Structure 1
């Protein structure tokens, strides 16, 4: 038995921490749950349906999301892409995005996806204390080269065990946690007068281009554009 997007939409309406959407081959929304509607500050589903991300999001983010959609419409599947979502009516939030092409009779007819907010760590998990020790080490050394093998040894686990337990406790792999720490630090530093290049180095990126690529993939815009945006927002605050 197949379930249609029309049937899925009301189910996802009940999940305030999940954004659900379906788009056609032109990248236009055909379905969207109420969570996306609220985060965009819109009142009716018809305000979204038929529109693309470039019409609904600021140009910098919309362009990045459209490029991601384009890859999926070419057949790529995106699994658990760590992203920061920035909506005008709420504080930035971390999420994991999944997108898949929709196929009918062998042809791609659109895409379906969800973005799930990161939850709080599972502090009751048996390995939580050991993983918290690893996390503390990462928080203090994210600017350095951190090897997963060294993290596994610190936790007294194999690499496979470390990655499995990190996913269970933090919903992220160790590498995703490291990326999150580095991007969070970069977002803070971009509010200062430090150069983009020096911020990238201070946050553990080998060169400015690597920093720019990772920042855009995660935040949806380049470090320079993010700096301009937050500077304008700060200037408009009373």
Structure 2
């Protein structure tokens, strides 16, 4: 069963603290919810539909949004990205964003995403900015042996505060966030020609059986099964 993004748009119209959007293969908005319209200060969807993020958001924000769109339209899934968005009073506030490609008959036809409010800048910034830096580090180093002490050094948090803050924002521990990042990147790479062993190693798994076990726990299928389903691998094109 396929769900029309317009149906999801209508659902998210009723949720005031979450932005919803869908875009075409050129990164142009096709659907947005009312919360996004309010924060952009426009009354009609027609003023947003057909435009890219860099045409509706100020410079300094939009560049990152456009770069994310390009990655997702290439097949990547982006989860739990902490970033600044505009709030209703046009002041920047922290959000947690997720974006996924829309795939129809094995072909990417657009993307869909949400951004969930965390809080406005000010009193909470002292907690969110260190968390963003820690998440940036995990995103850049998911293929390495990430030491918990490095995250403590980056954030300046105690171990208990780091664990508590991650659970509050991501509903996951730092280790679970890292594992999720590794599996999401492995899913992306399995669309390409690299061997399963090479992909597991590139995503931080030194043991292929551990990679297969963790991948199956997250996705419900082994990496080889997933590759067959998405048509990845050498000669798939």
Q: TM-score, normalised by structure 1?
A: 0.53
Partner secondary structure for residue 65 of structure 2: helix
Measure the CA separation in 2 of the matches of 1:174 and 1:83: 19
**Residue aligning to 2:167:** 168
Alpha-carbon displacement from aligned partner over 1:139-198 (angstroms, at most 9, x marks no partner): 9xx9xx95457999854x9xxxx74x54433447677xxxxxxxxxxxxxxxxxxxxxxx
More contact order relative to length (CA 8 Å, sep ≥ 6): 1
1:18-167, aligned counterparts within 5 Å? Answer: 18-86=18-86, 89-118=89-118, 147=150, 155=160, 163=163, 165-167=164-166
Query: Does the CA contact (< 8 Å) of 2:22 and 2:112 recur in 1?
Result: yes
| Runs of 5+ consecutive residues of structure 2 not aligned to the other structure | 121-126, 135-147, 175-237
Partner secondary structure for residue 103 of structure 2: strand
Partner secondary structure for residue 168 of structure 1: helix
Measure the CA separation in 2 of the matches of 1:29 and 1:147: 38
Measure the CA separation in 2 of the matches of 1:92 and 1:174: 26
Query: Does the CA contact (< 8 Å) of 1:40 and 1:89 recur in 2?
Result: no
1:87 to partner: Cα distance: 5.5
Query: Does the CA contact (< 8 Å) of 1:166 and 1:172 recur in 2?
Result: no
Query: Does the CA contact (< 8 Å) of 1:73 and 1:108 recur in 2?
Result: yes
Measure the CA separation in 2 of the matches of 1:88 and 1:94: 13
Partner secondary structure for residue 23 of structure 2: strand
Total equivalences in the alignment: 149
1:119 to partner: Cα distance: 6.2
CA 1:88–1:54 in 2, change beyond 3 Å: closer, same or farther? farther
1:98 to partner: Cα distance: 0.2
Alpha-carbon displacement from aligned partner over 1:185-221 (angstroms, at most 9, x marks no partner): xxxxxxxxxxxxxxxxxxxxxxxxxxxxxxxxxxxxx
Measure the CA separation in 1 of the matches of 2:61 and 2:152: 35
1:89 to partner: Cα distance: 3.7
Measure the CA separation in 2 of the matches of 1:149 and 1:85: 26
1:85 to partner: Cα distance: 1.4
Partner secondary structure for residue 118 of structure 1: strand
CA 1:78–1:154 in 2, change beyond 3 Å: closer, same or farther? closer
CA 1:54–1:169 in 2, change beyond 3 Å: closer, same or farther? closer
